[in-house]
A and B are shown apart, each in its own frame.
Chain A
């Protein structure tokens, strides 16, 4: 074919050493003034028969060259990429700068765990004030002014008074939530069972490795028709709580008779443990650790809240949140919870998206 030497073209394409050269070859054959344009122009003078024949031939040649060029182009492009890869290598043994990492404090994490456990059983979160009156912190809870157990409370008093002209105080326990919740219940038109879980801050004038002037407690209260409340149910609730909280089916509980003015009978609950170098193992060993206090709500307290104690009873329990966290996670010093040393926080925090669930395990 005049003007087109396929052999020459094929050789040129194969011999191309760069995309640039290949581009030039492409222009030479396929450009606006390229050889194929010329060839196609020239066949316009031929007869229809010849035109068809010639046209087919040219198109075949055209496809052939086009494919060759594309193939070569890919080949050259790969070579180019490989050359670039060889040049642009980086040292990934280096680390990028890091941004600050945040996290949830162990106290928040522990409260969330406790709320998750009781929430599963139909308990609702309640909150009561920290700045409290004598009535809600003491008197309504069957702790009158002269009561010896007031001395164990080491109360902080504030420079303001309540409506009975008594100094306001910082609540010494979360048990004040019991009174608020039961008063609210008594004011309802109709009785309905009450189940609350109330975590929060509490205050006592005491400071050492196991005492902090501010700490956290949680209170659990269940008030119901008298026949619905029993000590075996309280026992079952505590077994469920401690087993779930410590994520340990071997947990063994010991109920000791004790005394709280607002419950009767009252019990303290111990769990069995063994001390090891890596912390405590629950459910084994010969020692017992006190973990919480509980009991059947004292009739006087039910009465003080305006409920009829011949019809309704309740059980309540309460415990220190930091104490439970210390037992579960082997923290040594209570004070460190509130010192907020950056290194401590960085080490002990629960990460940014900690939101525990009972089904996910605690």
Chain B
């Protein structure tokens, strides 16, 4: 919300010593966030109006002009200066904005000095709007057809005011009016609200002959004021000019005198109003506030609002509680062409409207509290207006504006509640102003009000003192709250606290305690004690959290960088990298690239890989540990990509591309870190996700349908589809599927052999289809006690052995816990290994 210092002074007499900083600080501690304070007078104080007396073309440039300018920046003495200017519109006879030598120009970050421009002396500068800091217009210098040499720019532009831009929290609707801001400043002793604000009176006016009918509690107060003799054509009335300046500074557009006055009063008192063109209402004898849905039987209702949006309402034949609406909105594109956006909605039928009836003939006047309708609202030719000053139900307005896709100043105020007790005062104020500005005369009026029950909260003194750890006395609280307009009563230790009518947010004791604290001063509250109870000591985290953290650390230790990606991805990536069958997506995404809830982390990582490759980052290892989304379940995964080379060619290494074994190693390391023995897991290659290379990838699982990891090369076709030409290896670990080993470090005692290990090497030829893992298993099974390790030393395929076979060389380490083995014992184990491999895997000793 924006307001200006002068606007504030329309309603409050500020103390003479009150500074801008005082106002800003006070509002801040009152809970009103001050986002910006712009003091235009200070901002533009070094710029003044000059007059170009004559110009000459620069001798050394046909783009530059040498201007003789009349200036008087100090206001003491007018003088003539020579200024070189490059703007095309610099010509004799115009008033311009002048900055003297020595002036600091913020937009250019320079301090002007006397300059020689291509050999001609220049004493100062003529400024464009951009250089002044008013807009981005830079092609021309700012020019005026009239003016006064030496006048300050702020004066010339009527900018001698200070604009406050403040953020009002949704609970404090009362502060959306300048009067609300003034009340806060008064509470903190910065000034006194003017006591003659609403001094005009409405006397001896006859009753309006329109019956008021409010359905479903849609309004608690509704008044109509018939004004004749309205001149709604812009005029030079000084009061109107002042109002227009205020409105412009506070971000409102000037529409017409009547609407400007209404908006001005709304800005002052937070009371939206609407002016109907009485002659368009077809001599109404009744006004009804009602839901549009209840009017739709078979007929269709079409209305147009003040922004030229067209709404077509029709009944929903299958559902009595719903209606259909087609909204056609004109949209102006950047190139000025106008197009239409059509939205169809099925909504519940609560759209309150203000309808005017002449017996059975109905004119739709407005979406109640949201926006007036075009055919019924005042325009420049309206000479008789019907002014609506009403309260509308906040919830109805909030729901209605959302269904209609309308964001209006009026609905913004109504949905945050208005001061229902102040309607009559505002009426007096606005009617008086309309009379002054537009000559409007009040002929008749009618107002219907449901008296609002007084809001009284019972608050125990002990509750206040317990929560603040303070010893407030009842009188002290009464006095503090009194500053904010509360009335209090207390016979016992329970206080009856009644907030002022405009404080619609006072629904619980917390609000009152907040008000007491802020007036007492938060800093005056003591600092409490932080206690840790014995029962709270112990582990902070839970086991999955620990696993997530330790997984990240292990992966980082293995040389992978941690990444964070959006949880939603494009449809293409979602489909290409579907780890689970789940199609949850955001129905209102920020872009199509951020739509589908990812079912694999590879879908995000591949995007990162691609983006980095485009930036010439060619070799890297990345991971993410995060959840993927399967239906509405969140499943934690640890996934990573190895992109490009493990080693580049260097003086002591050959270029080595990442391969599938590297990813398997990472998976093994993670499983080891979990305290899980992976040595017995089989690498399976069936049912891999389709983005893996069918013959260069595998998975680990624990029983059927319980995959714990995928690893290996990505499918070349998939990479090709994404236009990625680099080798990429992936892994994915289902970290929740791996058993939690709570006693990872709680082991049985270790027995270490004191005897010499014996090493024996073998070379055996197998059929190519035999898996290495099988061979190792068979060898180990020969003597589980004595064989301590089996290491693959070499794998040979080629013309020295039969086709479709491979020669595997491996080294077996044999050691006993009890004794040093003798040759015969070793020989026996060796023979058993050879026999076992021959029987079980048809292995033959390589000759």
Which residues on the B side are within 8 Å of A97 (C-beta)?
647-648, 650, 652-653
CB–CB A149/B170 < 8 A: yes
Partner of A102 from the list B559, B586, B587, B589 (CB cut-off 8 Å) is B559
A231 and B586 form a contact (CB under 8 A): no
Segment among B276-284, B533-541, B813-821 that sits at the interface with chain A: B533-541
Residues of B contacting A123 with CB < 8 Å? 540
Q: Which of B30, B169, B568 counts the most chain A CB atoms within 10 A?
A: B169
A281 within 8 A of B: no
**Chain A 339-360 interface mask (CB, 8 Å, partner B; 1/0):** 1111101100101111100000
Of A102, A203, A239, A351, chain B has the most CB atoms within 10 Å of the CB of A102
Chain A residues, Cβ within 8 Å of B620: 100, 342
From B171, B608, B632, contact of A160 by CB (8 A): B632
> Residue of A at shortest CB range from B632?
A131
Given contacts A100-B621, A102-B561, A103-B561, contact A235 B528 (CB under 8 A): yes
**For the complex, what is the distance from the CA of A338 to the CA of B528, rounded to whole Å?**
39
Check B559 against A104 for contact (C-beta < 8 Å): no
Assess A156 versus B557: contact at CB under 8 Å? Given A103-B562, A240-B530, A338-B565.
Answer: no
Nearest Cβ on chain A to B452's Cβ, whole angstroms: 19
B511–A264 contact, CB under 8 A? yes
Across the interface, name the chain A residue whose C-beta is closest to B466: A227
Binary flags per residue of A229-241, CB closer than 8 Å to B gives 1, else 0:
1111111110110
Give the chain B neighbours of A265 by CB distance below 8 A.
Answer: 510-511, 513-514, 517
Query: Contacts A119-B540, A351-B556 given: A255-B522 contact, CB under 8 Å?
Result: yes
A341 near B617 with CB under 8 A, answer yes
The closest CB in chain B to the CB of A146 belongs to B398
- Cα A124 to Cα B542 in complex, Å, equals 8
Q: Which of B540, B584, B627 has the most CB of A within 10 A?
A: B540
**Residue among B528, B621, B651, B652 with most chain A CB within 10 A:** B528
Assembled-state Cα–Cα distance A343/B561 (Å): 11
Q: How far is the CB of B468 from chain A (nearest CB, A)?
A: 6
- CB of B569 to closest CB in A, whole Å: 11
* Residues 597 to 653 of chain B near chain A (Cβ within 8 Å): 597, 608, 611-612, 615, 617, 619-623, 627, 629, 631-632, 634, 646-648, 650-653
- B620 — nearest CB in chain A belongs to which residue? A342
B567 touches A342 (CB 8 A): no
Determine the chain A residues whose CB is within 8 A of the CB of B588 once the complex forms: 156-157, 205
Inter-chain contact B537/A122, CB cutoff 8 Å: yes
B586 to A170, Cβ gap below 8 A? yes
Interface check A164, CB cutoff 8 A:
no
CB interface residues, A 200-249, toward B, < 8 Å? 201, 203, 205-207, 213-214, 226-227, 229-237, 239-240
Q: Judge if A192 is at the interface, Cβ distance under 8 Å.
A: yes
Confirm or deny: A52 has a beta carbon within 8 angstroms of a beta carbon on chain B: no
CA distance A138 to B535 in the complex (A): 32
Q: A123-B540, A342-B617 are in contact. Are A101 and B466 (CB under 8 A)?
A: no
1/0 contact string of B439-471 vs chain A (CB within 8 Å)? 000000000000000000000000000111100
Inter-chain CA distance A106–B638, complex, in Å, is 18
Residue A173 at the B interface, CB < 8 A?
A: no
Residues on B with C-beta less than 8 A from A213 are 566, 568, 590, 594
Tell which of A99, A207, A266 touches B559, judged by Cβ atoms closer than 8 Å: A99
The number of chain B residues touching the other chain, given as a range, is 35 or more
Q: B567 touching A257 by the CB < 8 A rule?
A: no
Q: Which of A145, A265, A341 has the most CB of B within 10 A?
A: A265
- Residues of A contacting B511 in the complex (Cβ-Cβ under 8 angstroms): 264-265
B514 touches which of A127, A130, A257 (Cβ 8 Å): A257
Cβ of B536 and Cβ of A195 under 8 Å apart? yes
Q: Please determine whether B517 and A256 come into contact, CB atoms closer than 8 angstroms.
A: no
Contact segment of A9-17, A32-40, A58-66, A107-115: A107-115
* Closest Cβ–Cβ distance, residue A230 to chain B (whole Å): 5
**Contact of A237 with B530 in the complex, beta carbons under 8 Å:** yes
Flag whether A148 is at the interface (Cβ < 8 A).
yes
A337 to B, closest residue via Cβ: B564
Q: Assess whether B634 is in contact with A130, with CB atoms less than 8 Å apart.
A: yes
Chain A neighbourhood of B648, CB < 8 A? 97
Contact A345 B563, beta carbon cutoff 8 Å? yes
B586 touches A147 (CB 8 A): no
With A and B bound together, what is the CA distance between A213 and B592 in angstroms? 13
Q: Which of B234-242, B547-555, B835-843 contacts A (4 or more CB under 8 A)?
A: B547-555
Residues of A within 8 A of B585 (CB): 158-159
Cα–Cα, bound, A337→B563 (Å)? 8
On whether the beta carbons of B170 and A259 are closer than 8 Å, the reply is yes
CB-nearest residue of chain B relative to A226?
Answer: B466
Q: A99-B559, A158-B597, A213-B566 are in contact. List 6 more A-B contacts (CB 8 A).
A: A97-B647, A103-B556, A213-B590, A233-B528, A265-B510, A355-B549
Supply 16 A–B pairs (Cβ within 8 Å), ascending by A: A103-B556, A104-B556, A104-B562, A120-B532, A131-B629, A146-B394, A206-B590, A207-B590, A230-B469, A232-B528, A234-B528, A235-B522, A236-B528, A268-B33, A349-B556, A352-B556
B contact residues vs A (CB 8 Å cutoff): 28-31, 33, 169-172, 394-395, 398-399, 415-416, 466-469, 505, 508, 510-511, 513-515, 517-518, 522, 525-530, 532-533, 535-537, 539-542, 545, 549, 552-553, 555-568, 583-590, 594, 597, 608, 611-612, 615, 617, 619-623, 627, 629, 631-632, 634, 646-648, 650-653
Shortest beta-carbon contacts, A-B, top 7: A264-B510, A122-B536, A119-B540, A265-B514, A232-B528, A257-B31, A259-B169
